[in-house]
Amino acid sequence: MEPFRRLDAVAVPLGEPNIDTDRIIPARFLSRLRSVDHAPFLFHDARRLPGSDDENPAFPLNRPEWRAARIVVAGRNFACGSSREAAVWALYDHGVRCAVAPSFGDIFRNNAMKNGLLPVALPAEAVADLLAQLEARPGATVSVDLPAQTVTFPDGATHGFDVDPFDKQCLLEGLDELAYTLSLTDEITAFERRMGRENAPP
Amino acid sequence: MDAEAPRTLFEKIWSRHRVKEREDGQTLLYVDRHLMHDGTAAAFDALRRRGLAPRAPERTFAVPDHYVPTDTRRVAEIADERRRGLVETLARNSAEHGIRHFGLGGPHQGIVHIIGPETGLSQPGLLMVCGDSHTSTHGALGALAFGIGSTEVTHVLATQTLWQRKPRTLRIAVDGALAEGVTAKDLILAVIARIGAAGATGHVIEYAGGAVRALSMEGRLTLCNMSIEAGGRAGMVAPDETTYSYLAGREYAPKGAEWDRALVRWRALPSDEGAAFDREVSLDAATVAPMVTWGTSPEDALPITGAVPDPDAAPDAEGRAAMARTLDYMGLLPGTALEEVAVDRVFIGSCTNSRIEDLRGAALVARGRKVAEGVRAWVVPGSEPVKRQAEAEGLHEVFRGAGFEWREPGCSMCVGTNGDIAGPGVRVASTSNRNFMGRQGPGARTHLLSPAMAAAAAVTGRLTDVRRLLAGEA
């Protein structure tokens, strides 16, 4: 995993609430291996005019100022719904490394952390303020500082955010959780012995 | 914490599965059962790339459901090469790693969240995961079950464990009794409309109260299934006699002395008197009417007696804009009575509502009636055993006689990954769990409702209060 420390990047406003992972990547693009570039699937249908392959010019990611955005700012309950990790892969392959919203789908939040994409939850008023600033100044940049746990808005205002210490360490060092867990094999074996037949497989 | 302090069902299962707890609160949990489906090729690939093998393949169970056709049981007849490849890959990965695989055409195949409970693999007190958000379903048996992503699937395969931070707890108490024609589906839609699509984010829900206790196991499975649609990490119902009699004798349920020992453990699982929840919500079951969604989030649900809401009534400009976009996508005008909304297709199926009780409820409405002209109506049983049971009861003849298509088990139109989709602008009355934009196909318009309500929509050609049909109206 690529480490995450600081990010100064263009942020795109996607202010609707409840943007689900089906919208982020429609189901027909799922079940590809991770080695496949998922960027073309990102918001695939939302980026196009209905029933056509032509771009919907109104969709924020299609606007020249926001095409290269690496931060997504969204309404409440961003990336709710399906557990599809490909939603993170599509964002990541497009270049997105951070999502800011009042709240996230729990599974997306976990998936994001494991891929080096930082979910930042801020109070709804702060996100509304940020969305307004981004709409007013398309192409404006936002700064995210993970060690300091702060986000700096285009107007210079700085907001702190919470992050799980374990997740923070993994992100900062690009650490792989699986390698760490494999080092705990003895403890897992001891647990299995302790449980014996309880909850054993049929 | 004081060892004597009253604990919730969730806390009992959580602490029993703790392999290690770090000082920062992250907990390594042991996974008793890992369910897999045909959308998990990437997780096996990641495992292989690291040179790892499953740690406990005997705790892993696989079934193809997302990519299987609903008009044939032969893998070779899957026309689309990529879909066929995914079904074949699951079979191959399962064989290679010694994972039990309920293959297409076999007697157990079905939607992963149908066959877990049905085979007796899902049991009280277990910690279960699956790379699918509707894993919350299995909590209906008193298990702690939740959906995970692909990287986590690889982690579980390699270590049989998962890192989690302890979620908060939410108790949803439903007292009173559900009225005639009102089902578990209506109840969960009412719950989601009440608390919102993020109402339970970060929480494990325990459903309690007389109306929940009175639900059959099928109803409880429907209830827990849609916990994720309220944002919940998991949904649970404490095990009781309904649970035990449902499980007794099922193929993978404990037998003999093991059953007796299991019962002793299971009876100790329900939340202790006085156990504290982080949040509590209560609902009177008697106030719940048959529900239907009008928008593109499951929280957009109303009683069928209602009307399409007016964006002008939204509290702020952003809310008005969001609702206007939703109604534009749904092709609905504010103020239209929901019962006046005409449907093009009907889908009875999915891990939410394709169990035998669901099919019985739909058949009761379909019996002696005809699918309205111009409406295409499907029944997709959740599993081979459900299909066999329904056919033994003659339900397939009821459906066929009424003009429904009786199809083969799989996820089908709930998610459309097998190609069962609706066209742009097509309006679907669906017993599935998500009315998201494009969920049932690009531009498709989904209305979520119960199986009986779906059957009612099929025979009238519009969203319909099923209570009128149950009362004898033609």
Domain B292-470 classification at class level: alpha beta
Banded model confidence at residue B245, pLDDT cuts 50, 70, 90? very high
Measured between CB atoms, does A68 come within 8 Å of chain B?
Answer: no
Chain A: closest CA distance from residue B41 (Å): 7
Using the Cβ of A183 and the Cβ atoms of chain B, whether some distance falls under 8 Å is answered with no
pLDDT tens-digit map of A170-182:
999 998 899 999 9
What DSSP element (H or E) covers B453?
helix B451-460
Q: Is A198 on the interface with B (CB under 8 A)?
A: yes
pLDDT tens string B81-135: 999 999 999 999 999 999 999 999 999 999 999 999 999 999 999 999 999 999 9
Q: Which fold has domain B9-281?
A: Aconitase; domain 3 (3.30.499)
Q: How far is B470 from chain A (nearest CA, A)?
A: 34
- Average pLDDT across chain B, whole number: 97
**Alpha-carbon distances of B267 from A85, B149, B213, B239, B243, rounded to whole Å:** 37, 32, 15, 7, 11
Q: What is the ipTM of this complex?
A: 0.97
Which residues of chain B lie closer than 8 angstroms to A20, CB-CB?
Answer: 297, 434, 436-437
- Sheet harboring B376-379: ordered strands across? B405-406, B376-379, B345-348, B427-430, B445-448
Decide if pLDDT at B4 tops 90: no
Chain B CB within 8 Å of residue A111 CB = yes
Please give the distance of CA B124 from its chain centroid, rounded to a whole number: 18
Q: Find the CB nearest A106 among B33, B229, B231.
A: B231
Assigned token pair, A117: 């994409």
User: Which structural domains are found in chain A, ordered by start?
Assistant: 6-195 (3.20.19.10)
Which of B158, B424, B438 lies at the smallest CB-CB distance from A178? B158
User: Quick check: B316 contacting A, CB < 8 Å?
Assistant: no
**Structure tokens, B151:** 């990287």
CA dihedral A110, A113, A117, A123 (to 10 degrees): 70
Would the CATH topology of B9-281 be identical to that of B292-470?
A: yes
Residue B317: predicted pLDDT: 86
Q: Is the pLDDT of residue B2 over 70?
A: no
Q: Does B325 touch chain A (CB under 8 A)?
A: yes
What local confidence, expressed as pLDDT, does residue B79 receive? Answer: 94
Instruction: Tell me the pLDDT tens digit for each residue of A129-145.
Output: 999 999 999 999 999 99
Sorted by where each begins, the domain ranges of chain B are: 9-281, 292-470
Mean pLDDT of B62-87: 97
Q: Closest-CA residue in chain B for A168?
A: B24
pLDDT at residue A112 greater than cutoff 80:
yes
Is B436's CB within 8 Å of A26's CB? no
